[in-house]
Amino acid sequence: MLPLRNPQHFGCLLFHVDTMPLIKWKNHQTENIEVSLMLSALQQRYGYDFSGYARASLKRRLMALTQYFEVAHLTELIPAMLYDEAVAQTVINSISVPASEFFRDGAVWKAVREIVLPGLASFPRINIWQSGCGGGEETYTLAILLHEAGLAKRARIYSSDINPAFLDDARAGCWSRRHLDDWRENYRKSGGKQDFEQYFVARDGEICIREELKQSIEFIQHNLVTDQVFKEVQWVVCRNVLIYFGQELQDSVLHLLSRSLERGGYLLLGHAEKIMQLTEHYPDLEELDDQAQLYRKKVCMIRSKVHDHL
Amino acid sequence: MTTYKLLVIGLSAGGYPLIKRILQALPKNYPLPVAIVAHLPGGDESNLAQLLDASAQLHVRMATDKQVLARGNVYLAPPGYHLLIEQNGDAPLAFALSVDEPVKSVRPSIDVLFDSAAEALETSLIAVLLSGANSDGAEGMATVKKLGGLGMVLDPRLSEFSTMPEAAIKRVEVDYVVSLDEIISLLLSVDEKS
Ligand SMILES: C[S@@+](CC[C@H](N)C(=O)[O-])C[C@H]1O[C@@H](n2cnc3c(N)ncnc32)[C@H](O)[C@@H]1O
């Protein structure tokens, strides 16, 4: 028998267990526990850490999987996900959303034509890092812009994504024709003067980007959460990726992006991804166009106190 | 007694004059921040914020990612993005955006805003559906009601585009199915209640 050092205390504990009310949980709060458990399983088994992602939309995407797999509760997917990599890939694909378009937000690319491209031309070499390339629509948008500005030969685009399946799609560079009207309209709004369709060839009922436009691009797997800066670049394009991150993760990723920029280099974020408290948190960056969310790494840091004392 | 903390409004076709009147009526010191999803034909959403701001007493603007909600402001979902409400622990209520697939073929989706707001605020939420030619918002209104929020729908008989309000009241029993004037006076009475 266990020695009971304090029988009175023991009695007291029993009393508590008897009457302790089970906290009433609403279903949606219990689902939040399920989301955490899924993320933990995914992280321990496959190494992908989504714990810092913005919860509301992440939960919505995960809950949609219960319908897809026809299960009553999200956690029922954990065993399948742990033992079947195909299930895990489906889960990862549903967490990372590849949605993209050619020249999405036309006015933004107009600002790029007017501000970024002439600026880039002044650098001896032009390296561009596009993080979160999804299916490649935006990657080839960059290639077309460089081509039209006569910079394609001097530039290299490093396009990265966390999801290797998306990188394969992006490399292939083929899409359904049904997008063409929307993309042509976006292109026109960006100030494009050419015939947009000339950048594609028709193949098996799809449109595929011309091989010439692939030449300056390298696709690489890179995870913004766990991987480091891999190159100093003159332009970072990271659009509609930060919205998927929670505040803390967003901060650390913004610092990573800013570190990889050469001084005078440009940072382009998604149309609705405004950097809050820019001057306090990112003294190295300045805003060039708040409609386009276009920033620049300052050419030289303002010398502070030390300078004043001299 | 309930203290409301957020007002969410959804509208589509035919909704512009209605939201304009609501915003004209809400005073400068209105106690709740307001979040709106409006899908208007032809991508007219882009300058909707400016148009409404010109006649409203509250400050109308486009929501940005991670922005903290503050009273005195009306926030519109940016075109092409879903707008969601995030409640993380003790942190203040903030917006989150996503470019996830359209829901019922629209993005922004009223369902997405209402669902996330209902989960974040439960009984402290007021949700209003105005007019539209699709059924967006019905699912979201059902979530609002399930979690104890207050739901108001414009009387479909008074709406030119009645599909949206009809779908909502068919899907779930809401607290008020009334005219625009009554919606406005209910929203104004929140002032005293909270
Ligand atoms: C919505 S898409 C954006 C596509 C494109 N940039 C655009 O705006 O059109 C977001 C992309 O970010 C990628 N992503 C998500 N988490 C990531 C991470 N931790 N590191 C790198 N890429 C990530 C997703 O796989 C997805 O392809």
pLDDT per position as a tens digit, B122-152: 999 999 999 999 999 999 999 999 999 999 9
CA distance A182 to chain B (A): 12
CA distance A132 to chain B (A): 13
Q: Which pLDDT does position B194 carry in this prediction? A: 47
How much is the average pLDDT of B68-81?
A: 96
Q: Which pLDDT does position A11 carry in this prediction? A: 45
Q: Which pLDDT does position B35 carry in this prediction? A: 98
Q: Which pLDDT does position A310 carry in this prediction? A: 41
Q: Ligand 1: distance of its center to the CA of A243 in Å? A: 10
How much is the average pLDDT of A1-30?
A: 60
* Nearest-CA residue for atom 9 of ligand 1: A100
Give the mean pLDDT of chain A: 91
Q: Which pLDDT does position A196 carry in this prediction? A: 98
Reply yes or no on whether the pLDDT at B193 is more than 90: no
Asked if A97's CB is within 8 angstroms of B86's CB, the reply is no
Q: Which pLDDT does position A71 carry in this prediction? A: 97
Segment among A4-13, A28-37, B25-34 with least mean pLDDT: A4-13
Mutate to test the pocket of ligand 1, among A97, A241, A248 (most ligand atoms within 8 A of CB): A241
Closest CA to A85 of A49, A45, A48: A45
Q: Which pLDDT does position A2 carry in this prediction? A: 46
Nearest atom, ligand 1, residue A227 CA: 20
Q: Which pLDDT does position A26 carry in this prediction? A: 83
Q: Which pLDDT does position A63 carry in this prediction? A: 96
Residue ranges of domains in chain B? 6-193
Verify whether residue B12 is a known catalytic residue: yes
Question: Residue A110 is inside which H or E element, if any?
Answer: helix A106-111
Q: Which pLDDT does position A276 carry in this prediction? A: 87
How much is the average pLDDT of A76-88?
A: 97
Reply yes or no on whether the pLDDT at A10 is more than 60: no
Residue ranges of domains in chain A? 7-95, 106-305
Condensed to tens digits (0 to 9), the pLDDT of residues A128-150 reads 999 999 999 999 999 999 999 99
Cβ-Cβ contacts under 8 Å, A271 against chain B: 78, 80
Catalytic residue among B124, B131, B136, B159: B136
Q: Which pLDDT does position A306 carry in this prediction? A: 46
Q: How far is CA A300 from CA A110, A120, A126, A167, B82, in A?
A: 27, 17, 20, 36, 38
Q: Which pLDDT does position A21 carry in this prediction? A: 64
The amino acid sitting at A34 is: E
Q: What percent of chain A shows pLDDT beyond 90?
A: 83
Segment among A81-85, B11-15, B87-91, B140-144 with least mean pLDDT: B87-91
Condensed to tens digits (0 to 9), the pLDDT of residues B182-192 reads 999 999 998 65
Cβ-Cβ contacts under 8 Å, A186 against chain B: none
Q: How far is CA B67 from CA A41, A173, A264, B88, B96, in A?
A: 31, 35, 28, 13, 8
Condensed to tens digits (0 to 9), the pLDDT of residues A176-200 reads 999 999 999 999 999 999 999 999 9
Reply yes or no on whether the pLDDT at A232 is more than 50: yes
φ, ψ dihedrals at A188, nearest 5°: -65, -45
Tokens representing A229 are 């800066």
Q: Which pLDDT does position A12 carry in this prediction? A: 46
Which residues touch B175 (CB under 8 Å, ≥6 apart)?
A: B150, B151, B152
CA distance A193 to chain B (A): 23
User: Class assignment of domain B6-193?
Assistant: alpha beta
Residues with CB under 6 A from ligand 1: A 96-100, 104, 131-132, 134, 138, 161-163, 166, 223-225, 239-241, 244, 270; B 99
Q: Which pLDDT does position B136 carry in this prediction? A: 97
How much is the average pLDDT of A116-131?
A: 96
Interface test with B, best of A51, A55, A269 (most B CBs within 10 A): A55
How much is the average pLDDT of B20-36?
A: 97
CA B81 to chain centre: 15
Q: In chain A, positions 217-246, which contact chain B (CB-CB < 8 Å)? A: 240, 242-244, 246
Quick check: B147 contacting A, CB < 8 Å? yes
Q: Which pLDDT does position A309 carry in this prediction? A: 44
- Per CATH, is A106-305 categorized as 3.40.50.150? yes
Which residues touch A10 (CB under 8 Å, ≥6 apart)?
A: A4
Quick check: B96 contacting A, CB < 8 Å? yes
* Nearest-CA residue for atom 14 of ligand 1: A132
Q: Which pLDDT does position A305 carry in this prediction? A: 45
Question: ipTM value of the model?
Answer: 0.92
Give the confidence band of A277 by pLDDT, cuts at 50, 70, 90. confident
Q: Which pLDDT does position B163 carry in this prediction? A: 97
Quick check: B103 contacting A, CB < 8 Å? no
DSSP sequence for chain B: -PPP-EEEEEE-TT-HHHHHHHHHHS-TT-SS-EEEEE--GGGGGGGHHHHHHHH-SSEEEE--TTPBP-TTEEEEPPTTSEEEEE--TTSPPEEEEE----BTTBSS-HHHHHHHHHHHHGGGEEEEE---SS-TTHHHHHHHHHTT-EEEEE-GGG-SS-HHHHHHHHHS--SEEE-HHHHHHHHHHHHHH-
How much is the average pLDDT of A108-113?
A: 97
Asked if B64's CB is within 8 angstroms of A272's CB, the reply is yes
